[in-house]
Amino acid sequence: WTKDKRIFDPFDMDEITTLTNGSLQINRVTKAHAGDYTCTPYNTHGTSGTSGVMQVHVRDPPTIKLKPEDEYMKSVGEKVTFPCSASGSPAPTITWRRSDGQELPRKRHKEYQGTLTISALQKKDHGIYECVVTNEVATLTAQTRLLIEKTIPPASTSLLLSLPGLTPAALSAFR
């Protein structure tokens, strides 16, 4: 075996096992295992050459380094800034969304390097926002709640009523 064009002895590392067919098994992959591996099989007749290069890439899931506070209280007309930053390999992407599926306010929101800013706040901006951190290994979210002072949060428009022994009933509210 070679690793990065140097002779590699898998028996020198506890976390690497050489299987009976000559394959390597890495039991606990770390960044130290990243590299280009080749194998040159031999038997009583010699060898027919070296294998192709087998690349081991170590990827890290994202880690949220800076997340927004649990809750923000603002007034109509003010501005709010939600921070979010992350690391990982490959570098994660950071996007923002509302947990209720509504779009972020058009022309009043700005995302820059993971931070979401919403200006000229309105009553309808009240809600839960999520920082979504993604790379090819995993996706993480961090939530924050935005409360708009002196406003009443929108009421739920549907309820499910379920009592023991009775068929559940859906209730809807109309505005």
Q: What's the pLDDT tens digit per position in 11-69?
A: 777 788 888 888 889 888 888 888 999 988 888 898 888 889 999 888 888 999 999 99
How many Cα atoms within 13 Å fall on the side-chain side of residue 85? Answer: 5
Q: 146 versus 16: which is more confidently predicted? A: 146
If 0-12 CB within 10 Å is exposed, 13-18 middle and 19+ buried, where does residue 118 land?
A: buried
Q: Which residue has the higher pLDDT, 60 or 93?
A: 93
Q: Which amino acid is at 169?
A: A
Please state whether 114 falls in left (phi above 0), alpha (psi between -120 and 50) or beta.
left
Distances (CA, A) of 4 to 33, 54, 59, 61, 67: 10, 10, 18, 25, 39
173 exposed, middle or buried (CB, 10 Å; 0-12, 13-18, 19+)?
exposed
User: Percentage of the chain with pLDDT > 90?
Assistant: 53
